[in-house]
Copies of this chain bind each other. A is one copy, B any other.
Amino acid sequence: MAGNETGRRHSRDDVAEAALRILDDLGLPDLTMRRLAASLDVQPSALYWHFPNKQTLLAELADRIVATRPEGSAAGKDAGPEAAGGADTDWADSVRSEAAALRDALLAYRDGAEVVSSTLALGLGSPETVDRFARAVARGGFDAETSRRAATALLHFVLGHVSHEQQRLQYDSLGVLATGDSSPLDEDDPAAAFAFGVDLLVGGLELSRSRR
């Protein structure tokens, strides 16, 4: 059903795309190697020709998910007028839109945040996501270590927030929505709560800069 319509053999890309489909349709708990194999009309063992194990498959999915950027959501150019060394008055907005773009990408696939989060935790997946944050922060004139630490703080917040957001989505889509049994982490306006958290981190950076 993915890639080649009726032909027998599949590519690594076919497998990844079929996996992404199952993820988005059924969710991460239902993305099993056996179910994936079945969706490709293949034996489970065939998958191990394309990927050494499930974790590697998930890392590939994570990379594809974070590469999902809604059209025209570029968070500033890679090398603007002030790219070479100097401080950028607009760095804060670029951090904010980088965060928003990542959130959008994670929300584009069911359980996207959890897939990326667990892949990052295992040290797999491309470093692109942290790097983008770090570059945006560095535009503010912060040193490399500060930028990297701020970037991971941002990433942890974004992944935690969106994971919870998505968990809530499918919790609501299922039956259990009794009145008032919301957890204290639930937010009635997820986007606003997200922006607030990002602003807190950006504000902290601004403050640390104003103190030299």
Please pick, from B146, B182, B203, the residue contacting A208 in the complex, using a CB distance under 8 A: B203
Chain B residues, CB < 8 A from A163: 121
Copies in the complex: 2
Asked if residues A200 and B197 are in contact (CB atoms below 8 Å), the reply is no
Chain B residues, CB < 8 A from A130: 184-185
Asked if residues A160 and B155 are in contact (CB atoms below 8 Å), the reply is yes
A201 at the interface (CB under 8 A from B): yes
A79 at the interface (CB under 8 A from B): no
30 CB-based A-B contacts, threshold 8 Å = A121-B167, A122-B167, A127-B183, A130-B184, A130-B185, A146-B196, A149-B187, A149-B197, A150-B200, A152-B184, A153-B157, A153-B196, A153-B200, A155-B160, A155-B185, A156-B156, A156-B160, A156-B161, A156-B197, A159-B160, A199-B204, A200-B200, A200-B201, A200-B204, A201-B201, A202-B204, A203-B205, A203-B207, A203-B208, A207-B207
Instruction: Please report A residues at the B interface, Cβ cutoff 8 Å.
Output: 114, 117, 120-123, 127, 130-131, 134, 146, 148-150, 152-153, 155-157, 159-161, 163-164, 167-168, 171, 182-187, 193, 196-197, 199-208
